[in-house]
Amino acid sequence: MADIKLTDKYISDHLNESLDELSKLCAIPSVAAQNRGLDECAALVSVMLERRGFKAEIMPSGGAPVVYAERKGKVDKTLLFYNHYDVQPPEPLELWETPPFEANRRNGMMFARGVSDDKGHFVSRLFALDALLAQDPELPCNIKFVVEGEEEIGSVHVPAFVEKHAKKLAADACIWEFGYVDHRDIPMQVLGMRGICYVQLDLECLTQDVHSGLGGSIFPNAAWRLVWALSTLKGPDERIRIPHHYDNVLPPSQRDREMASKLPYEGDEYRQRYGVKAFLRGTDGHPDLHLQETLEPTCTICGLTSGYQGAGSKTVLPAKASAKVDFRLVPNQTPEEVLKNLRAHLDAEGFQDVQITYLGGEAPGRTDPDDPFVNLVVNTAKDVYGVPQERVPMSGGSGPNHAFLHFLKLLVAVAGLGYPGNQVHAPNENIREDLYVKATQHVTRIVNEFAKS
Amino acid sequence: MADIKLTDKYISDHLNESLDELSKLCAIPSVAAQNRGLDECAALVSVMLERRGFKAEIMPSGGAPVVYAERKGKVDKTLLFYNHYDVQPPEPLELWETPPFEANRRNGMMFARGVSDDKGHFVSRLFALDALLAQDPELPCNIKFVVEGEEEIGSVHVPAFVEKHAKKLAADACIWEFGYVDHRDIPMQVLGMRGICYVQLDLECLTQDVHSGLGGSIFPNAAWRLVWALSTLKGPDERIRIPHHYDNVLPPSQRDREMASKLPYEGDEYRQRYGVKAFLRGTDGHPDLHLQETLEPTCTICGLTSGYQGAGSKTVLPAKASAKVDFRLVPNQTPEEVLKNLRAHLDAEGFQDVQITYLGGEAPGRTDPDDPFVNLVVNTAKDVYGVPQERVPMSGGSGPNHAFLHFLKLLVAVAGLGYPGNQVHAPNENIREDLYVKATQHVTRIVNEFAKS
């Protein structure tokens, strides 16, 4: 058993070194959506693990490589960390105050694309192990890492990878890629993740753009057809109109409402931070807003593009149009059924000409909120944050946790350094250094307690 | 009276010089929508006119300057040429075979942005005057030029300019900026132009983009609101749904149908050139397709933009979305009424949050198809093209002809070098050199006959 006072001192003494290591990792533009920097980043992740005495492998997945690493410990119990080394695209570049791939520390924060999601989490976990290893050359228990490179594009190859390597990845529990405090700085325990089905819809109605004075009355317009096709998917009532979309949706349980009720109301925070004037469907109040936020299916337009988008006017009838659409799924929806229903729906509505490209998907996944490992992670937080984690029934976001739950029969809990202002997926992504320290301290305690549990 | 055989010889002997002059004009990226190169281009246009003995002035219009020029002739009758020196944006640049602002001659054609629309027309008219002046130092009649710089963005300031300077611009007849042969190489006489009302629709529902996993179920999405707002403007039946939009629309007259019936059927040409599979509303056949093409109001989405548009996926809920929308107007619609009805309609449909920016507009305008000046232009074509021009009741495109018809009480006829393949408003805009010669020859004949008429 490590002396937690000494690990805390180590963390405090070596913070700059750890953030320097994080800066180097953030310097690699490992943007999965743009297929750049991935091999280079995987190589660095592998080296960082080997530096801590891990046996690391860069394993093919069918897409971006997965870095797998393991190291034995004193006790023969295994804790698996799931992280990812890929990041979101940095665009729009003009909104960054400092360049996205040059980490910049200011005002007790560090800014870079991926510094929070998810490179900061990965490096803080290594930092926690450094603190433990500084006291004892042996780890308290076996530790494994799965660090993948396609999380931001839906972890396309991860489920098959996990299934294929289930024996190698076997563990007793899993700490998920993230964790966060809410706007009151209270740490959260997230007990599930929505699934996702991300598609691109493309239309091409002509072989070239045409002067709008010529074609406007007689030629089909890809932008119009896209608008009409999209408007059949969801109306202003926010109800998804694809037949069978809600067939397998489980409504929130009594335990979900109970957990949600203990969480704070976030509406004011959202209004202030994002300038929301009214929430969708007029929902507000507690816990209704939270349950709608995390336990309902969504259909989100993430992007639209067609024709002329520059300054002023251009009188053109565009030959092509496309949209990116993201469906978030709740138990027991699957990306496969969503995709199938979407195709059937567009066909039935007369949009056979809309081409659907599946850009990735994951099934939703949940963890038993009252499992002993969840209790361990929840309770060890108290020593760091002053309060235990609060249980969140489900995250609005997605990840491949379903594969870990399903193929590895693992319990998945979260612990990490996120906070509401860290701008993940947006310009000026950042971490708070105080929370980086706390997340690291929390991991030393989790490993310690897990080894003796 | 000039000897037309000699002017034809002059044109044939000096073609390269004229095309060189055109190249220099095309080298100036005078893109009105992007507000670049306009003053520089106006200055060159003025110099080109002065070189021919015109008294030229660069006149303020409230927007891009108008180059006005006049020169007296033997007979005290005045012919006005209307042209424009601005061009469409060159984007998408990657589709150009040679750089858009470096004119390139190949295969009997010349390629450049604006080489057809409208710089080629302007230079060919100067070339025609050169041919006449080579024989006689005096012009056959008075000639005026109005060369504006905002045609491609709706000639915003031209109507007020024409009204204000009506006395100065006074003339007996007007040759419009363009003219063309159809796909059979038969020259056309266009007797009117549709109007236009070009708007940008903007939505901003949040102060920043948000992770779609967070906001998807509870935050308003600008892209969705744009789709829904647009889908209220026009449905797949192609009927514009804005109340009162059709109130003042005049249906095609018997004379319109009669003129249209003499034109060739263009459906096969369109299918082949643009890959059209079926025309809107299932219309086909002659003259129905032509009448729908040119004598009906349109509502065209020219561009859509929102959120992530790069490769792959980005799970973002976009804060902003916008569309460019172009309404073509027929007699007796006006851009003002369209704008007013659009605002009222969006408000009534619950889209008060859609901001409308008016990017330009023009009323539709028509010329009497049986006027003597029209007959003169139609019949002088025969000597050049072997056949007289065919009368087209209305052009699908737009221009500020209404101002010339209305404030100057002018007859407006067309003569020019266009052809169906010249890719105006698209990459690889070009002219055919043989048609450049013919258009120039036609103008020498028009000026000659007009002087003695």
Backbone angles phi, psi at B389, to 5 degrees: -65, 150
Mapping DSSP to helix (H, G, I), strand (E, B) and coil, where does residue A303 land?
Answer: strand
Cis ω for the linkage preceding A297 (within 30 of 0): no
Q: What is the CATH number of the domain that holds A435?
A: 3.40.630.10
How do residues B227-245 score in pLDDT, each as one tens digit?
999 999 999 999 999 999 9
Rounded CA-CA distance A319/A339 in Å is 25
pLDDT-derived band at B156 (thresholds 50, 70, 90) equals confident
Is residue A411's pLDDT more than 80?
no
* Residue after which a domain boundary falls, among B362, B383, B401: B362
| Residue among B223, B324, B328 whose CB faces A213 most closely | B328
Please list the residues that pair with A66 across neighbouring strands: A59
The reply to whether A439 and A315 lie within a common domain is no
CB distance A62 to A160 below 8 Å:
yes
Which pLDDT score is estimated for A382?
A: 97
Helix A119-135 vs helix A15-26: angle between axes, to the nearest 10 degrees? 140
Rounded CA-CA distance B262/B157 in Å is 36
Is B327 within a domain? yes
Is residue A188's pLDDT more than 90?
yes
Is residue A410's pLDDT more than 90?
no
Residues 214-233 of B with CB under 8 A from A: 214-221, 223-228, 230-231
Backbone angles phi, psi at A361, to 5 degrees: -165, 160
Pairing of strands A173-175, A412-413: parallel
The reply to whether A345 and A441 lie within a common domain is no
| Residue among A212, A279, A302 whose CB faces B326 most closely | A212
pLDDT-derived band at A214 (thresholds 50, 70, 90) equals confident
> Which of A142, A384, A374 lies closest to A255 in space, CA to CA?
A374
Rounded CA-CA distance B111/B428 in Å is 6
Mapping DSSP to helix (H, G, I), strand (E, B) and coil, where does residue B76 land?
Answer: strand
Residues 109-138 of A with CB under 8 A from B: none
How do residues B164-178 score in pLDDT, each as one tens digit?
999 999 999 999 999
Which pLDDT score is estimated for B68?
A: 98
CB distance A86 to A151 below 8 Å:
yes
pLDDT, average across residues A175-193: 93
Q: How many CB atoms lie within 10 A of CB A167?
A: 7
Q: Which chain A residues are closer than 8 Å to B283 by Cβ?
A: 218
Length of chain A: 453
Question: What's the gap between Cα B108 and its chain centre?
Answer: 24
The reply to whether A180 and A155 lie within a common domain is yes
| Residue among B35, B219, B274 whose CB faces A276 most closely | B219
* Residue after which a domain boundary falls, among A362, A393, A408: A362
Is A286 within a domain? no
Which pLDDT score is estimated for A408?
A: 79
Is residue B453's pLDDT more than 90?
no
The answer to whether A212 contacts B298, with C-beta atoms less than 8 Å apart, is: yes
The reply to whether B153 and B35 lie within a common domain is yes
- The alpha carbon of residue A425 is apart from the nearest alpha carbon of chain B, in Å, by 6
Rounded CA-CA distance B303/B326 in Å is 10
Residue by residue, DSSP assigns A71-113 as: E-EEEEEEEEEEEE--B----SGGG-SS-TTS-EEETTEEE-T
The reply to whether B209 and B87 lie within a common domain is no
Percent residues over pLDDT 70 in chain A:
100
Is B224 within a domain? yes
Rounded CA-CA distance B192/B187 in Å is 16
**CA torsion sign, A369 to A375 to A379 to A381?**
negative
CB distance B150 to B399 below 8 Å:
no
pLDDT, average across residues B268-294: 94
Is A270 within a domain? no
Largest CA distance in chain B: 79
Is residue B425's pLDDT more than 90?
no
User: B231 is in which domain, residue-wise?
Assistant: 195-249+296-362
Rounded CA-CA distance B392/B379 in Å is 15
Please list the residues that pair with A35 across neighbouring strands: none
Please list the residues that pair with B306 across neighbouring strands: A304, B321
Cis ω for the linkage preceding B92 (within 30 of 0): yes
Which pLDDT score is estimated for A399?
A: 82
The reply to whether A68 and A123 lie within a common domain is yes
How do residues A81-135 score in pLDDT, each as one tens digit?
999 999 999 998 999 999 999 999 999 999 999 999 999 999 999 999 999 999 9
Backbone angles phi, psi at B27, to 5 degrees: -70, -15
Three-state secondary structure readout of B345-373:
HHHHCCCCCCEEEEEEEECCEECCCCCHH
Among all residues of chain B, which has the CA nearest to that of A220?
Answer: B280
pLDDT-derived band at A453 (thresholds 50, 70, 90) equals confident
Which pLDDT score is estimated for A360?
A: 86
Which pLDDT score is estimated for B153?
A: 86
pLDDT-derived band at B363 (thresholds 50, 70, 90) equals very high
Which one of B300, B351, B353 would you mutate to disrupt binding with A, by most A Cβ within 10 Å of its Cβ?
Answer: B300
Is residue B131's pLDDT more than 90?
yes
pLDDT, average across residues B307-312: 93
Is A280 within a domain? no
Which pLDDT score is estimated for B81?
A: 97
The reply to whether B187 and B232 lie within a common domain is no
Which pLDDT score is estimated for B410?
A: 75
Which pLDDT score is estimated for A402?
A: 85
How do residues A303-344 score in pLDDT, each as one tens digit?
999 999 999 888 999 999 999 999 999 999 999 999 999 999
Rounded CA-CA distance B144/B159 in Å is 17
Rounded CA-CA distance A136/B237 in Å is 75
Is residue A409's pLDDT more than 80?
no
Please list the residues that pair with B412 across neighbouring strands: B174
The answer to whether B302 contacts A311, with C-beta atoms less than 8 Å apart, is: no
CB distance B191 to B390 below 8 Å:
no
| Residue among B213, B224, B230 whose CB faces A396 most closely | B213
How do residues A30-71 score in pLDDT, each as one tens digit?
999 999 999 999 999 999 999 999 999 999 999 999 999 999
Is residue B1's pLDDT more than 80?
no
The answer to whether B303 contacts A293, with C-beta atoms less than 8 Å apart, is: no
The reply to whether A172 and A201 lie within a common domain is no
pLDDT, average across residues A194-214: 94
Is B267 within a domain? no
pLDDT, average across residues B351-367: 94
The reply to whether B301 and B396 lie within a common domain is no
Percent residues over pLDDT 90 in chain B:
88
Is B103 within a domain? yes
Is residue A274's pLDDT more than 90?
yes
How do residues B52-72 score in pLDDT, each as one tens digit?
999 999 999 999 999 999 999
What is the total count of domains within chain A?
2
Which pLDDT score is estimated for A412?
A: 80
List of residues 6+ apart from B363 with CB closer than 8 A: B159, B195, B329, B333, B334, B335, B402, B406
The answer to whether A207 contacts B326, with C-beta atoms less than 8 Å apart, is: no
Is residue B400's pLDDT more than 90?
no
Rounded CA-CA distance A439/A81 in Å is 14
Percent residues over pLDDT 70 in chain B:
100
The reply to whether A34 and A163 lie within a common domain is yes
Run of H or E including A300:
strand A298-307
Which pLDDT score is estimated for A86?
A: 98
The reply to whether B116 and B177 lie within a common domain is yes
ipTM of the modeled complex: 0.83
CB distance B283 to B289 below 8 Å:
yes
Rounded CA-CA distance A446/A173 in Å is 11
* Residue after which a domain boundary falls, among A317, A347, A362: A362
> Which of A216, A316, A354 lies closest to B304 in space, CA to CA?
A316
Among all residues of chain B, which has the CA nearest to that of A240?
Answer: B217
Rounded CA-CA distance B15/A451 in Å is 90
Is A275 within a domain? no
Percent residues over pLDDT 90 in chain A:
88
Which pLDDT score is estimated for A1?
A: 74
The answer to whether A293 contacts B218, with C-beta atoms less than 8 Å apart, is: yes
Residues 374-433 of B with CB under 8 A from A: 395-398, 424-426
- The alpha carbon of residue A64 is apart from the nearest alpha carbon of chain B, in Å, by 14
Among all residues of chain A, which has the CA nearest to that of B236?
Answer: A228
List of residues 6+ apart from B177 with CB closer than 8 A: B82, B83, B84, B118, B121, B122, B151, B399, B416
Mapping DSSP to helix (H, G, I), strand (E, B) and coil, where does residue A380 land?
Answer: helix
Q: What is the CATH number of the domain that holds A217?
A: 3.30.70.360
Which pLDDT score is estimated for B402?
A: 84
Pairing of strands B55-59, B66-71: antiparallel
Q: What is the CA radius of gyration of chain B?
A: 23
Rounded CA-CA distance A338/A360 in Å is 12
The answer to whether A316 contacts B425, with C-beta atoms less than 8 Å apart, is: yes
Mapping DSSP to helix (H, G, I), strand (E, B) and coil, where does residue B322 land?
Answer: strand
The reply to whether A154 and A203 lie within a common domain is no
| Residue among B34, B283, B293 whose CB faces A310 most closely | B34
How do residues A413-422 score in pLDDT, each as one tens digit?
888 999 989 9
Rounded CA-CA distance B83/A300 in Å is 47
Among all residues of chain B, which has the CA nearest to that of A300?
Answer: B216
Question: What's the gap between Cα B355 and its chain centre?
Answer: 27
Range with lowest mean pLDDT among A235-239, B6-10, B180-184: B180-184
pLDDT, average across residues B182-199: 93
Mapping DSSP to helix (H, G, I), strand (E, B) and coil, where does residue B145 land?
Answer: strand
